[in-house]
Amino acid sequence: MEIRNLGRSGLRVSVVGLGCNNFGGRIDLEASRKVIDAAIDQGITLFDTSNTYGNRGGSETAMGEILGARRKDIVLATKFGGPMDDDGVKVGAARRYIMAAVEDSLTRLKTDYIDLYQLHRPDPLTPIEETLRALEDLIRQGKVRYAGCSNLAGWQVVESAWTARDVGAFPFVSAQDEYSLVVRDIERELIPAAKTYGMGLLPYYPLGSGLLTGKFRQGTEMPKGTRLANEKRQADRYLTDANWTIVEGLRSFAEARGHRLLELAFSWLACREPVASVIAGATKPEQVVQNVKAAGWALTAEDMAEIDRISGRA
């Protein structure tokens, strides 16, 4: 397993990370244990969750039960900012909430510290300076090692970097955003900002909600149990004529070189600067093994140019 620095920070993470959103909700404790065991066996070190995953706290609780002494061997990342109640109180990035949210996460995770504590989404009601100063206090207290962000616009990433520099606070070392061969919007502004300020990128939904697994064919019935079969909103978003054209072109590209579409999806992301780790969820151990193996295709500059042409980015 390749290990990379997260941006210009000293935090090192595996090039394939485990998304833990299925724990405590979609799959039970024993199934979660098998996935975590497989991930550790495969050399995955980055485990990414959120306080909201698993019906508000379920994922963190499951991980706290399962990890035990192996906690020290992984990079544990979680998030704050999403709603943890229905009253609009336990939400956001204000100092008062952050200080309570981190204690709750530490308790559920059964740990003394969080390696990467990430703002899950922008909070329009709280100045970024307040958020950064609160996170700095947690870092100085040893409860958090590094801070990151997720789902911020490019201008918000720049604002956070300039604010941190201006007030002498610790900056965000990473940005976690949706990025795949069929969703490349962040290339316009966010990726240039992340490169400029030395932030590592942690792509989620690397398989385009399943579209890039190779299981789907236009005009055929969606495989039962898949997200695109079960969630109409996701299907409407991803199953467009433009995406089908891209996917079929990419499938042909991969197969002509003796690879699968899934391998192309992972390996392409792993080759993109400033990607540090590709976050992929799993509900079964074999999916973990498959994801790790998929990231091993070393694409050439010519390959990358051809992929851009197929994707309409040339």
Q: Point out the residues that are catalytic.
A: 53
DSSP class of 176: E
Q: Give the Cα separation of 48 and 79 in Å (integer).
A: 8
Secondary structure element (H or E) that encloses residue 129, with its range? helix 128-141
Report yes or no: 213 and 155 within 8 Å, Cβ to Cβ: no
User: Packing angle between helix 53-67 and helix 95-109, nearest 10 degrees?
Assistant: 50
Report yes or no: 57 and 24 within 8 Å, Cβ to Cβ: yes
User: Packing angle between helix 261-270 and helix 301-310, nearest 10 degrees?
Assistant: 120
Q: Give the Cα separation of 74 and 94 in Å (integer).
A: 28
Report yes or no: 126 and 92 within 8 Å, Cβ to Cβ: yes
Q: Give the Cα separation of 285 and 88 in Å (integer).
A: 37
Of 177, 168, 210, residue with least CA distance to 278: 177
Q: What is the CA radius of gyration of the chain?
A: 19
Q: How far is CA 207 from the centre of its chain?
A: 12
Residue with tokens 């495989």: 223
The CA-based dihedral angle spanning residues 17, 53, 185, 183, taken in that order and rounded to the nearest 10 degrees: 70
